[in-house]
Amino acid sequence: MKTIIQIVMVIIIVVLVYLIYDSIMEPVRFNQEVARREALIIQRLKDIRAAQIAHRSRYQSFLGDLDSLVLFVKNDSLPIIMAIGSVPDSLTESEAVRLGIVQRDTIWKPAVDSLFRRTRYPVDSLPYVPRSDGKRFTMEAGQIERGLVKLPVFEAFTMPEDYLGDMDNWRTYYTRTAGLKVGSMVESSIDGNWE
């Protein structure tokens, strides 16, 4: 009888140790998965920002629609200014251009090749939040007035329920309730809220 009680006690202890370990590891595993997902989303938001900056440099405005942004990246071109010739060590490039030693020429390169040097970048996936079962980023663009100057602005964001909704207890452990975003509609900023 004493042996049976000892065996039962050992089993109970092992189960309790496992339950304690699992309860300690649950937030650790959660944070690891959140870090993986946030890294993917942040990279996608950086890609959206790069495309928006390219559009602004070409057309002096941001796009408010993700589908239009995808079309811009896929079908438009960006100017690349190249210097032909070599600049002597004693001169700056602008001085060499002024003296005729170096010439500048503009070539047009497809936007997708200029922006995303990674091979076969999936441009069509730009509007979609990674690991969200097809949910899209929310994006808008417009202008704000600072002094007497109108400045173009944009904002792209996603909320936590879009990228964490499939995880149990995400509301318990997750502290970034405003989600992830880049840009701002109230100030002239293209920073992300993770920076």
pLDDT digit string (tens) for 108-123? Answer: 888 888 888 766 788 9
Provide the pLDDT for residue 119.
Answer: 67
Question: Residue 87 to residues 79, 95, 103, 128: CA-CA distances in angstroms?
Answer: 22, 9, 10, 45
Q: What is the pLDDT of residues 52-106, one digit of tens each?
A: 999 999 999 999 999 999 999 999 988 888 778 888 888 887 888 788 888 878 8
Tokens of 157: 């964001």
pLDDT of residue 177: 86
Residue 153: its H or E element: strand 149-158
| Res 35 pLDDT > 90 | yes
Total Cβ atoms within 10 A of residue 51 = 25
Query: CB of 139 within 8 A of CB of 154?
Result: yes
Neighbouring C-beta atoms of residue 61, cutoff 10 Å: 15
pLDDT of residue 38: 95
- Domain ranges for the chain: 32-75+114-183
Report the distance separating Cα 48 and Cα 45, nearest Å.
5
Over 49-109, what HEC string results?
Answer: HHHHHHHHHHHCCCCCCHHHHHHHHHHCEEEEEEEECCCCCCCCHHHHHHCCCCEEEEEEE
Residue 89: predicted pLDDT: 81
pLDDT computed for residue 71 by the predictor: 96
For position 24, what pLDDT does the model report? Answer: 86
pLDDT in tens, 142-167: 999 988 899 999 999 999 999 998 88
Strand 149-158 relative to strand 77-84, pairing: unpaired
